Copies of this chain bind each other. A is one copy, B any other.
């Protein structure tokens, strides 16, 4: 009775590859079942419709990304006690991780679906929204921790800086896809990192520029 879960995972694997490569709408069920070696009935045994497939994909994706973020920023926490350094180190590790992916980042499932959200029902759309909110909260929490330690004369808006990081990443994914250039994403992650650094360490500007040129 665990064979069912194996098949379900195989369907999700094949579907995920298809969606990232071609988009959700262009990834047909016929195509998935052909590659999985099952029949249409088999597919609909596991997923009532394509919306449930989308939910399954998003659920897995969220879990994996959460795990990756935990690993990366957990490692950053090992390397420094300072909340600012943790964020900076984490973003660098994140960028390096993306740069190391063979063939570049495969694409963001959430961004893909967000731009095809008309294909889905409210439940799936709600999932997309909540995942994006989760990312924002994640970065926001880190920035708020920095603000506690780095009391500035004027408080900065943690929310918009957190959103900026997420926007830069999403935008980097899109632009990388549009230009066919896998270096754009890690580059823009580092740009976001440098923004954070500038916000909290204005004196470090020139050192930062040296870094940017060297990279």
Residues of A within 8 A of B (CB): 21-23, 25-26, 110-112, 114-119, 128-129, 132-133, 152-157, 160-161, 163-164, 166-172, 174-175, 177-180, 184, 187-188, 191, 195, 198-199, 202-203, 205-206, 209-210, 212-213
Chain B residues contacting A156 (CB-CB under 8 Å) are: 209, 212-213
A-B contact pairs, 29 of them (CB 8 A): A23-B117, A23-B119, A25-B25, A25-B119, A114-B177, A114-B178, A115-B116, A117-B177, A117-B178, A129-B178, A129-B180, A132-B178, A152-B206, A152-B209, A154-B210, A155-B209, A156-B213, A157-B213, A164-B191, A167-B167, A167-B170, A167-B171, A167-B191, A171-B174, A174-B174, A198-B205, A199-B209, A202-B205, A202-B206
